[in-house]
Every structure is written in C-alpha cells, then in structure tokens.
Structure 1
C-alpha cells in the first residue's frame, strides 16, 4: 500500500474527526514546515538547527506526517554528528518530505 504524505486516519483520531480542526492543524503544520526548514537550513549554530529539527519531528508526528517525522529525526541525528556530507543529504530528504506534505495539505484544503 503506498504511503501518503499525511496519515489522514491518524489525523482524524487526533482531532476526533473534527474536519475544521484538521484543516487548522494542517495549515499550522505547513507554516511550521517553512519556519523550521529555514532555521535548519540557515540556523546560526548546530543546537538551534537540532532544536528546529526536533520540533518539526514532533509536529509531524502529531498530524501523521510520518515521512517528515523520519526525515526530521535523521536530520537531528546528522546535525549531532557534524558530518557535513550526510547533513546535506538529510537536508535534501527533509526538504522533499516537507514539500510532499505541504502539497498534500494543499490538496486536502482544496477538497474540503
């Protein structure tokens, strides 16, 4: 079964099936993606970047954006090791996962 960018069944469980709340949470998550990705990409120090990755991971887990959560976790771990080559790969994976999640959120909002 193909994995979608947002686990809508998980989201429905988190919101008790409240579609308006789902839309609000998804919109908030889309905004958080932009803000945290910016910090992860251009943060002033490794700790700030790790904190942003950790926060993004938690937000993704809350709404069922599992690919984003996994990519943010990998990013957080890579930042801890300071391996620049792997950090760049992890950043690319996180950016792609976040873009896919944001696209899914856009489609969800249009379908509502």
Structure 2
C-alpha cells in the first residue's frame, strides 16, 4: 500500500515542460539575464538580431564568395547564440560545415523566419 501511495504522490519526470524556453525560437530567460530585465533593452537586442540575421541571409543567398559566406554564417551563429536562438545556431553551423547548398540555406531561412516571427509577436 505504501508503494502505491509513494508512486501516486511523487513528482513526474519532466524533461521539457510545456512553455519552457527550450521550445521557443529565442531564449527569453537568457535575454532577461543579459539585460537585467529591462524590456526596452530586450526588444532592442532582439530587433538587432533580426536585422543582422536578415543581412546574413542576403549574403548567404546572393552567391557570394566562399570566404564571405563563411563569415556570414559565423556572424549569424554568434548573433543567434547571443539571443539563444538555438535552431538558428544549428542551421548556421550546417552552413559552416557543409557549405552553402539549397538545403542548408533553406534550413537557415526557416530557423531565422521562426525566430523573426517570434520577435515580431513580442514587439506588439
């Protein structure tokens, strides 16, 4: 009987709680820590990331040289790390390792688009 009661009242094992920052395109907790909770600074940081990400996407899709492409991918990865956009980081790392292909550019574009939509929703 005690074993059944222990099981009934134990906390469930939860790896990722719904709504945790790991399920969002941007880690709001990391940004809040960086900006010390200043909402204006948070929004400015996020909008700066979105602008830089769009610029990097232009470079990646413009058929630039190998060096420019690698620099754009690295700049995008570092910028994404700053705001905790882990999907963008992963996609940018694909470009750094595999180079610019239609698939890698599509992965980066999709990740950046998801992050940008999330940022736009926050800015409302």
TM-score range, shorter chain: 0.7 to 0.9
Aligned residues: 104
- Does the 8 Å CA contact 1:6/1:65 hold for their aligned counterparts? yes
Instruction: Find the structure with the greater CA-based Rg.
Output: 2
5+ unaligned residues in a row in structure 1: which ranges? none
Q: Residues 84-103 of structure 1 correspond to what in structure 2 (within 5 A)?
A: 87-103=101-117
More helix by share: 1
- Does the 8 Å CA contact 1:6/1:63 hold for their aligned counterparts? yes
Q: TM-score, normalised by structure 2?
A: 0.79
Structure 1 SS opposite 2:24 = coil
Instruction: Summarize deviations over 1:80-101 as a string: whole Å, max 9, x none.
Output: xxxx6xx221111110000000
Show the counterpart of 2:92: 72
5+ unaligned residues in a row in structure 2: which ranges? 1-15
Give every structure 1 segment of 4 or more consecutive aligned residues whose post-TM-superposition deviation is greater than 6 Å: none
Q: Per-residue deviation at 1:35?
A: 0.6
Q: Residues 7-86 of structure 1 correspond to what in structure 2 (within 5 A)?
A: 7-79=27-99
Q: Per-residue deviation at 1:70?
A: 1.1
Q: TM-score, normalised by structure 1?
A: 0.87
Aligned Cα root-mean-square deviation (Å): 1.3
Instruction: Summarize deviations over 1:24-48 as a string: whole Å, max 9, x none.
Output: 0111111111110000111421110
Structure 2 SS opposite 1:6 = coil
